Amino acid sequence: MYQRLSAVLFPIVAVLLVGAGLWGYQEHQEKNQILVKAENQYQRAFHDLSYHMDQLHEELGNTLAVSSASNFHRKGLINMWRLTSQAQSEVNQLPLTLMPFHETEELLANISKFSYKTAMRDLQKQPLTPAEMKILTTLYERSKEIKTDLRKVQESVLNNHLQWMDVEVLLASGEENYDNDIIDGFKLMNKRVTENGDIDWGPTMTAMNRRMSMQGVEGAPITAEDAKRKAADFLGLKDTSSMKTVENGADTEFTTYTVSVPANDRSTRQLEFTKAGGKLVYFLTERPVENKIVDIRGAVEAGTDFLQEHGYEGMRAVSYDEYNNVASIMFARVVNGVTVYPEKVTVKVALDDAEVTGLSAGELLFHPSTEKIGEPAMTEAEARKLLNPNFKVKDASLAVIRNDLDEEVLCYEFLGGINGGDYRIYFNADNGFEEKIERIRDSDAEASGA
């Protein structure tokens, strides 16, 4: 009996063992293929990074070699922006997130911003200043150091057949003392950048790197109880006993109070107020929205009425998004017929009953209020001549926008169509420079009434 049973089971077990072996071998092969592919991608990104840093150093040298009146400066700056953008992309493809490399990354980002914002102006009318030439000279020296360090790492990688997968494993292990030429090389690079100190990039770059600040919010500080009363007034409630308050960022410049207001079993409400002056930062109601009944027009009307009820006068809808049956509508402030796009709020409207479930007022709050807007240097008719002859204008008005250099500029805003699409085109009202072009979605056009 046992012999018969063995005769039956043995081939079955043998087949299973062979199958398991083949499966394990296949899994091993697939794992190796994935590792090889990842290693190849790391190696490609690293060698491309080294190559582009070589080119960046050369481009800086070429730009410094010509006179300040040369037309080559614009070309050189554009190439610098392109090369640093590529280098940033390649750095992001390498396993460096656990390595102190942020100083070098920040330097690359600042070179990209500086070269872009400088290349965008008319260098024939505004050539590079002595201060900007000094910045380029400093960048030439810094890029030479980075290029040299990268070449040393590259030589070590090629000569010693180093693997980036080993770097990833070492960094993930959490060990403090590494014995790896790649890690040591990148640490040295970052250390050099840190030791060389900061670069004075000038006022424009400072503006581009600006962060939201409470300095523009004035008023006497409020208490947690004051925040509850403000929340009650905003919601039209009298009782504050069920409200809870949390102070955020105590003893910092950006101190706020978050007030939680239980509504019912299906929803909760939160409001945030600045400690200085007690200004609303945001309001949010969390509840499910299962059906869509309200259309775009209805949502915009509900948002407009809500803003007027709460003291946000002179706002008009400029864009519309929709997700999970909730509309997100951006409103911009209008001053004497001029749309001021940096002064904006976002309103969320539930599309089942047109209830306003959210208001984000931070960008309007931290932007100094625009009460007076200067006169344009050119007429609308002059600006129209700058348009493509085939562009069919549907509407034209003045608007204040923030351009690519993060500067606020007065523009002529032309809404119209060409090649089957609708666009907003903005011309600087002082010099006719084409500041921005935006494609208009159908929902945005309907929300704004365009």
Instruction: Please report the pLDDT score of residue 225 as a whole number.
Output: 94
Q: Which two tokens stand for residue 67?
A: 């006179």
What does the alpha-carbon distance between residue 228 and residue 247 come to, in Å, rounded to a whole number?
12
Burial profile 102-132: b = 16 or more Cβ within 10 angstroms, e = fewer = ebbbebbebbbbbbbbbbbbebeeeebeeeb
Instruction: Please report the pLDDT score of residue 212 as a whole number.
Output: 47
What does the alpha-carbon distance between residue 154 and residue 169 come to, in Å, rounded to a whole number?
20
pLDDT in tens, 161-207: 878 777 777 777 666 566 677 888 888 888 887 777 777 776 655 55
Instruction: Please report the pLDDT score of residue 330 as a whole number.
Output: 93
Output the CA–CA distances (angstroms, integers) from residue 346 to 207, 307, 316, 331, 405, in the order listed. Answer: 24, 10, 11, 6, 24
Q: Residue 410 pairs with which residues in a beta bridge? A: 400
Instruction: Please report the pLDDT score of residue 18 as a whole number.
Output: 59
Instruction: Please report the pLDDT score of residue 162 as a whole number.
Output: 79
Average pLDDT in the chain: 82
Residue for token pair 């009307």: 301
Instruction: Please report the pLDDT score of residue 379 as a whole number.
Output: 93
Instruction: Please report the pLDDT score of residue 197 as a whole number.
Output: 74
User: From the first residue on, what is the mean pLDDT of each consecutive set of 10 residues in the chain (450 residues)?
Assistant: 57 60 57 71 86 90 79 84 88 76 83 83 80 88 89 85 77 66 82 78 58 61 92 90 85 81 76 90 88 92 94 91 90 92 92 92 78 86 93 93 83 91 92 89 72
Residue for token pair 């007030």: 259
Instruction: Please report the pLDDT score of residue 211 as a whole number.
Output: 47
Structural domain spans, the chain: 23-208, 224-365, 380-448
Instruction: Please report the pLDDT score of residue 4 as a whole number.
Output: 61
Instruction: Please report the pLDDT score of residue 400 as a whole number.
Output: 93
What does the alpha-carbon distance between residue 320 and residue 329 come to, in Å, rounded to a whole number?
5
Output the CA–CA distances (angstroms, integers) from residue 301 to 101, 304, 447, 449, in the order listed. Answer: 50, 5, 9, 12
Q: Which two tokens stand for residue 208?
A: 């581009």
Output the CA–CA distances (angstroms, integers) from residue 55 to 93, 147, 240, 383, in the order listed. Answer: 19, 9, 64, 40
**Taking the domain 380-448, which CATH number applies?**
3.10.450
What does the alpha-carbon distance between residue 248 and residue 296 come to, in Å, rounded to a whole number?
36
Instruction: Please report the pLDDT score of residue 358 as a whole number.
Output: 92
